Amino acid sequence: MEKRRCDFSLGAEGRVSEKALLYHDTRWCKPEHRDGELFAMLILEGMQAGVSWNLILEKEENFRRAFDGFDPEIVAGYAEEKIAELMQDAGIIRNRRKIEAAIANARAFLKVQEEFGSFDAFIWSFTEGKVVDHHLSDIKAMPAKDVLSEQVSAALKRRGFKFAGPTIVYSYLQGIGVINDHWEHCEFR
């Protein structure tokens, strides 16, 4: 018997890629506390601006390869030569502003780690380590942003993060499990 999922995870006409299903079932809205993955998701969410999340998931392995496994210490040191290399990589989103934002975000990420001991401690402090569960029953009830994402966005921007507006941050908070927007009937809550 097929498991019940969030209706929007099925995609157009009930079809969805295996990568999207795997992401929905095992990662989306699941609490993440590893700094490396928190950084990876921050960069992937920024890359997603203006394109579909399915495209990002299809290219995720390429992003991880191209961005040195999303190691923030390595990414923070990228110079013009590496930017030029990334701009030629057809396996990723070749947007100079997004690539430069990834570098700026790596530098800001490292400063947050220094200040708080880990990025995990910083990002989860906004909810005192608790998951915000919206108990959704309809996609119309899911906001694009909320007070929490506006608060986190402002804090990130003050610390020098780019591509960190409230809508991107809301999606990020879902992606790392700070927000649980799985529908009530979803078996992957």
> Crossing angle of helices 18-26/53-66, nearest 10°?
90
* C-alpha–C-alpha distance, residues 115 and 133, integer Å: 28
* C-alpha–C-alpha distance, residues 75 and 44, integer Å: 14
170 catalytic residue (yes or no): no
Helix (H, G, I), strand (E, B) or coil at 136: strand
Torsion sign across C-alpha atoms 179, 181, 184, 187? negative
Selecting among 37, 53, 58, 60, the annotated active-site residue is: 53
23 catalytic residue (yes or no): yes
- Residue linked to tokens 């920024």: 46
Selecting among 45, 124, 170, 172, the annotated active-site residue is: 45
Selecting among 23, 78, 172, 183, the annotated active-site residue is: 23
Q: Give a three-class secondary structure readout of 4-15.
A: CCCHHHHCHHHC
Contact 66, 86 (CB under 8 A): yes
Active site residues: 23, 45, 53
